[in-house]
């Protein structure tokens, strides 16, 4: 295994030639410990060569200083800095540029592949394990294998959110800049209890690292399309529903959800779900998503 940088490891794999390369990242937010524990265990097994690796992989532990302090971030939210032309000073700005370059180098070596950016949820969720697919205005440029939804579902993920706009996230960067089939995975409780809560993620990653291809299957995900991206426009933004409620809580059409400056945000259709509600983000950042379920 090659140690490219602090918290960055590359393994060429011992599988068939042409196997799809895989980037796995965690610790973009330093308080989301559950996926970090899972990936650390897999890294240990790869180093010991007790886990047979079928494909090239790049393993990234992203915000190391925030992980040391178990804080979400130090000064800047790392997952709001990727793919930006604006240079942010300090550790997190430099770290993003470094990680982007490592991913470019890996893609140059092995070609386009898959990227899973691993996170954990801050609050309870009706879907404890779910995936977000970045917005891609040219779908043909990033080939998403149609077996991905079933693969996620077979592992124990229950929902897929398809985004409707670019965001400065790690997964959006690898999808739109490198041509990777990328997902942000929300992998259960934020703290990481070492119990069965981590099982779906561990099961999925072992399948991808050791198997010759996506397993697919007959399981299905509940899918959602982003209907409203709640960007905080002013400092007096406020939710009109309980923002501490569960992720994916649903509301009837016309329910007042938030006051955003002079605008009132209402649910456009029945059954809209609220995700990532957080009024305390900086002005200009996303304060939440309203999701429309798809058949």
Catalytic residue numbers, as ranges: 186
CA–CA separation, 28 and 35 (whole Å): 11
Q: Tell me the pairing of strands 222-231 and 286-293.
A: antiparallel
CB 27 within 8 A of CB 62: yes
Q: Tell me the pairing of strands 129-133 and 22-26.
A: unpaired
Two structure tokens written together for 124: 């309870």
Ramachandran quadrant class, 124 (left: phi over 0; alpha: psi -120 to 50; beta: rest): beta
CB 187 within 8 A of CB 129: yes
Place of tokens 């007042």: 256
Give the three-state DSSP class for 228. strand
């Amino acid at each position: 295994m090659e140690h490219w940088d602090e918290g960055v490891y590359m393994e060429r794999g011992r599988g068939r030639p042409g196997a799809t390369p895989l980037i796995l990242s965690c610790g973009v937010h330093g308080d989301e410990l559950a996926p970090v524990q899972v990936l650390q265990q897999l890294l240990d097994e790869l180093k010991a060569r007790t886990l047979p690796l079928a494909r090239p992989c790049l393993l990234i532990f992203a915000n190391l200083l925030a992980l040391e302090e178990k804080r979400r971030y130090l000064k800047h939210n790392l997952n709001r800095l990727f793919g930006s032309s604006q240079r942010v000073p300090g550790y997190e700005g430099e770290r993003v540029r470094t990680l982007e370059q490592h991913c470019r180098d890996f893609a140059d070596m092995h070609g386009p592949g898959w990227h899973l950016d691993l996170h954990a949820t801050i609050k309870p969720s009706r879907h404890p394990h779910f995936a977000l697919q970045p917005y891609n205005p040219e779908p043909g440029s990033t080939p998403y294998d149609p077996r991905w939804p079933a693969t996620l579902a077979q592992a124990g993920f229950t929902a897929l959110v398809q985004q409707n706009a670019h965001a400065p996230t790690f997964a959006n960067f690898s999808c739109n800049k490198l041509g990777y089939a990328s997902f942000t995975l929300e992998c259960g409780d934020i703290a990481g209890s070492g119990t069965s809560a981590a099982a779906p993620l561990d099961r999925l990653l072992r399948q991808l690292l050791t198997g010759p291809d996506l397993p697919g299957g007959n399981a299905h995900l509940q899918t959602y399309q982003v209907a409203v991206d709640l960007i905080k426009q002013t400092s007096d933004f406020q939710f009109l529903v309980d923002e501490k409620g569960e992720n994916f809580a649903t509301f009837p059409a016309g329910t007042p959800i938030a006051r955003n400056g002079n605008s009132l945000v209402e649910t456009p259709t029945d059954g809209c779900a609220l995700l990532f509600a957080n009024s305390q983000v900086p002005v200009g950042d996303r304060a939440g998503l309203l999701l429309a379920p798809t058949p």
